[in-house]
């Protein structure tokens, strides 16, 4: 009971301190303007330090070019109007909206969906804390769940690609002359944290590349015709971070390549099956062709709509593999045609021997096949040639494809806002 009473007194004391601080407080004025005593444009810009404590990066979607992350959004700034007696270590409140103090309006450019602590409706999320320190420093911590668009996805080198994405936090409604945003944690500290506990999501691993503070970026959604008349109000301060997404070496795409090679070897094994076993030869070649085609369609389904001039290494590799399997199917057709022509040659030759002692019969009826027919009949021996040259040609094709892999289009880094 005593503990409860003390906690109640402490809470009341916090409210009393805040009430005294905000008695003549104008929440519509930022701290820099309050120091100047007016909303003059020449007031010094306020600095807000922001940070994202990311718990997990997940749901990386190639088709929609987006990713999701969960964590905490941290904002910290100094407000001289909130300086109070240091006898109280700090003030702690559960929500910002009821305090009546100035707070920066932060947004995420290119966010497709956002839920953040302190929001309302669809933007509401559990988790928010506000700390006011005796020196006037304010720490605002909120839980966040955000889906971001990543325009840096480039699939030319799939599955050996590295994707680059931008993550930005901007100040909504404030120009760089009013508000400056800076990262709270420097690049070295962030890299140490990621190295100790890297972000992974299925086949992807995320690594920070670079971070920049106080970047002036255009406000999205303003028509270009209005940007010049509006001037500085068309830009805002932002912090940006570029991070890379690297695929795991054991992914479905790598497995697709392995399966494609095995299916070509399966087609090659058909050259050792007797040509007389027509159902087995045809089924083997046709199934291998269809399975590679199915894998190719699966690759296209995992990618966004591509332009006609967009080249993807994996799709080109599978198309070439599919052609090899189709060649195996055509090869059996040629072998079968050669076998039938050779059988006809033998029949005609035997018939000619049987009729040699009957001169009254027309000789042309029993004439040997033409040179063209004899050459077609040689196709019956095509299996012997394909057993050697088919695998050599395919492995040569693989070598060429891997040699031209660096020539496929890809991004070397983040493309920016």
pLDDT digits (tens, 9 = 90+) for 316-366: 999 999 999 999 988 888 887 776 666 665 566 556 666 665 555 554 444
CB neighbours of 11 closer than 8 A, spacing ≥ 6?
Answer: none
Bridge pairing between strands 46-61 and 179-183: parallel
* Contact assessment for residue 408 and residue 157, using Cβ atoms and an 8 Å cutoff: yes
| Burial environment of residue 249 by CB neighbours within 10 A (0 to 12, 13 to 18, 19 or more) | exposed
pTM for the model: 0.75
CA 297 to CA 105: how far, in whole Å?
45
- Output the pLDDT for position 42: 66
Residue 403: enclosing H or E segment and its boundaries?
helix 382-403
- 9: helix, strand or coil: helix
- The burial class, CB within 10 Å (0-12 / 13-18 / 19+), for 382 is middle
For residues 142-160, b (16+ Cβ closer than 10 Å) or e, as one string?
bbbbbbbbbebbbbbbbbb
pLDDT at 195: 55
Shared fold status for 11-19+29-35+43-247 and 252-407? no
Distances (CA, A) of 139 to 35, 49, 79, 93, 114: 20, 9, 11, 11, 21
Q: Answer whether CATH 3.40.50.720 is correct for domain 252-407.
A: no
Residues 6+ apart with CB under 8 A from 334: 379, 382
Secondary structure (DSSP) of 19-80: HHHTTT--TTS-HHHHHHTS--TTSPPEEEEEEEEEEEEEEEETTTTEEEEEEEEEEEEE-G
Q: What does the alpha-carbon distance between residue 138 and residue 31 come to, in Å, rounded to a whole number?
A: 12
The pLDDT value given to residue 66: 92
Architecture of domain 11-19+29-35+43-247: Distorted Sandwich (2.70)
Residue 113 has pLDDT above 70, yes or no: yes
- Domain positions in the chain are 11-19+29-35+43-247, 252-407
Residue 231, pLDDT score: 47
Determine the pLDDT at residue 6. Answer: 38
382-403 vs 252-269: helix crossing angle, rounded to 10: 160
* Res. 379: pLDDT tops 70: no
> What pLDDT digit, counting tens, does each position of 289-299 carry?
999 999 999 99
Helices (runs of H) and strands (runs of E) counted in the chain: 9, 13
């Amino acid at each position: 009971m005593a503990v409860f009473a003390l906690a109640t007194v402490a809470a009341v004391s916090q409210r009393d301190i805040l009430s005294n601080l905000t008695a003549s407080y104008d929440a519509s004025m930022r701290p820099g303007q309050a120091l100047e005593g007016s909303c003059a444009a020449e007031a010094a810009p306020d600095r807000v330090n922001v940070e994202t404590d990311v718990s997990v990066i997940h749901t990386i979607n190639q088709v929609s070019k987006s990713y999701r992350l969960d964590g905490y959004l941290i904002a910290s700034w100094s407000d001289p109007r909130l300086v109070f007696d240091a006898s109280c270590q700090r003030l702690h409140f559960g929500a910002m909206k009821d305090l009546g103090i100035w707070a920066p309006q932060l947004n995420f450019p290119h966010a497709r969906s956002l839920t953040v602590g302190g929001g309302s409706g669809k933007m509401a999320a559990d988790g928010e804390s506000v700390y006011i320190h005796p020196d006037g420093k304010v720490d605002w911590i909120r839980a966040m769940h955000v889906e971001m668009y990543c325009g840096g996805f480039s699939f030319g080198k799939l599955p050996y690609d590295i994707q680059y994405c931008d993550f930005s936090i901007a100040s909504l409604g404030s120009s760089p002359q009013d508000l400056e945003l800076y990262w709270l944690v420097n690049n070295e500290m962030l890299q140490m944290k990621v190295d100790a506990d890297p972000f992974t999501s299925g086949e992807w691993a995320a690594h920070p590349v670079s971070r920049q503070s106080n970047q002036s970026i255009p406000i999205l959604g303003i028509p270009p015709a209005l940007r010049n008349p509006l001037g500085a109000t068309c830009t805002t301060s932002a912090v940006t971070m570029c991070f890379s997404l690297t695929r795991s070496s054991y992914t479905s795409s790598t497995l697709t390549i392995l399966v494609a090679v095995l299916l070509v070897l399966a087609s090659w094994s058909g050259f050792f099956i007797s040509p007389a076993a027509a159902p087995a030869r045809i089924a083997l070649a046709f199934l291998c062709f269809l399975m590679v085609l199915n894998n190719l369609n699966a690759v296209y389904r995992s990618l966004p709509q591509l332009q006609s001039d967009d080249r993807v290494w994996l799709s080109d590799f599978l198309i070439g593999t599919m052609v090899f399997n189709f060649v195996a199917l055509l090869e059996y057709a040629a072998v079968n045609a050669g076998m039938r022509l050779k059988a006809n040659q033998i029949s005609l030759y035997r018939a000619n021997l049987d009729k040699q002692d009957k001169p009254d019969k027309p000789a042309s009826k029993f004439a040997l096949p033409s040179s063209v027919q004899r050459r077609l009949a040689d196709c019956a021996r095509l299996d012997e040639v394909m057993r050697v040259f088919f695998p050599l040609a395919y492995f040569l094709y693989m070598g060429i494809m891997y040699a031209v892999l660096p020539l496929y289009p890809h991004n070397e880094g983040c493309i920016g806002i």
